Structure 1
Amino acid sequence: MKQGIHPENYRPVVFKDMSNGDMFLTKSTAKTNDTVEFEGETYPVVKVEISSSSHPFYTGKSKLVDTAGRVDKFMSRYGKASKK
C-alpha cells in the first residue's frame, strides 16, 4: 500500500451484528468507545443492526410479502373506475 494515504485512525475494528451475534474483523476509521475480545485480542467494536450474515438477500431466507392482498386492495379502489 502507498504510505501516507490513509487517515491516522485507520485501525482494525470488529463489527458485531446485533441480530445474530456474528462478528468480523476489518480495518475502519469508525469512531467507537466500546471494545470486545475477538480471537484473543481486544479491539474496538462497532455494533450494526444487520450485516451480510443476517440480511435476507445473502442468507436466502426472504420474508413472505402478502402481494395478493395488495393487488386486491388496489383493484377494489381503482379497478371499478370507468374508462372513457
Structure 2
Amino acid sequence: MKTGIHPEYVECTVRCTCGNTWKTRSTKSEMTVDLCDKCHPFYTGQQKLVDTGGRVQRFANKFGGAAAEQLKKAEEAKAAKAAKAAEEAAAKKAAAEAKAEKKAKRAAEFEKKAAEQPVAESAAEEQATEENAAE
C-alpha cells in the first residue's frame, strides 16, 4: 500500500433513530442510521412505517409536474378520440337514415307504379273484350 493516500481508520460511534448506539471502526468518527437490528421490521417482526427523509415527496416535487402533464395529455387524447368516435357514429347514423329514407321513397314509387299498372292492364283487357264483342 502507498503511504499517505489512505484515510485514517478510527473508532466510530453509530447512532440509530430508535436510540440504540454501538461502537465500530470506520473512516468517520460518527454515523447516524435510520434502522438497526433492534428496530428493523425483519428482525423484530413488527410492522413499521419507514420514510427515509421524505424520498417520495422529493420525487413528487421533482417529477410531479411532468407526471401531471402526461396524465393531462392522455386525458385530452382520450377525450379527442371519444369525440371523433361520436362524430363518426353520428355520421353513420345520418347515412343510415338517408339510406332508409331513400329506400322508403323507392318503395312508395314502386307501390304507385304497381297500383297504376293493373289499372292499365284492366283497361287494355276491357278494350280487348269490347273489340272482340264488336266483331
Structure 2 length normalisation: TM-score? 0.29
Structure number with the higher strand fraction is: 1
Select the structure of larger CA radius of gyration.
2
Structure number with the higher helix fraction is: 2
Structure 1 length normalisation: TM-score? 0.44
- Ranked by relative contact order (alpha carbons within 8 Å, sequence separation 6 or more), the top structure is 1
